Amino acid sequence: MNFISSLLSQLNYGTVFFLMLLESTVIPVPSELVVAPAAYHAAGGNLNIWLVILFATIGADCGATINYLAGYYLGRPIIYRFVNSRWGKLCLLNQQKVEKSEKYFDDHGMVATITGRLLPGIRHLISIPAGLARMKFWKFLLYTTIGAGAWNCILAILGHYLHSFVPQEQLNDKIIEYGEYIKVGLMTIVAIALLYLMARWLIRRRKTIKEK
């Protein structure tokens, strides 16, 4: 954790990429404290905000791919054995979290790979059930890029916004504070979107049944 803390204190394109790679595997790295501070520094002229988003998204894609491949090739028994092991506990994992991500993927299908990237507690694990389900890799990568890119844009906008009135020594506290509001807002939006998609599916299904 000291190693991660030292990387968080010296953000550049390389550390943003690496930390977001870790965040998308099973290492407990908070993406809010990577992308938002990097965008904060970009607003001060030290980095380019578009490159911050780009490297963060590529890092997230690489980390998510590691989880996808683990699910695809190792299978459920080995994944759960790791989750319940000492190393899994050190990564703040437990069986309930993985089961929750599996259920979310099973309930919502491939779209879960996009929406799951926006939800706390599921974001870094949603790639595992995608691999277990043997989802086509190009679709997985496309949907992951969309979801991770959207999340990184939100965090970048937050960091850029905070630069105008928050001193650097208060930055992390403000990011955590505003991040809670963002999480609630995103969970609401995702819930509404899923309800809309479900309603459309039910309407189409009823029409199909009537036509038969």
Residue 117 domain boundaries? 2-211
- 127-137 per-position pLDDT tens digit: 988 998 889 99
Grade residue 48 by pLDDT with cuts at 50, 70 and 90: very high
pLDDT of residue 156: 94
- 96-141 per-position pLDDT tens digit: 888 888 888 887 777 778 888 877 778 888 898 899 888 999 999 9
pLDDT of residue 55: 97
Instruction: State how many domains the chain has.
Output: 1
- 188-204 per-position pLDDT tens digit: 777 787 777 778 777 87
What average pLDDT does the segment 145-158 reach?
Answer: 92
What average pLDDT does the segment 12-25 reach?
Answer: 94
pLDDT of residue 212: 60
pLDDT of residue 99: 85
- 152-170 per-position pLDDT tens digit: 999 999 999 999 899 988 9
CB-CB contact of 34 with 63 (8 Å): no
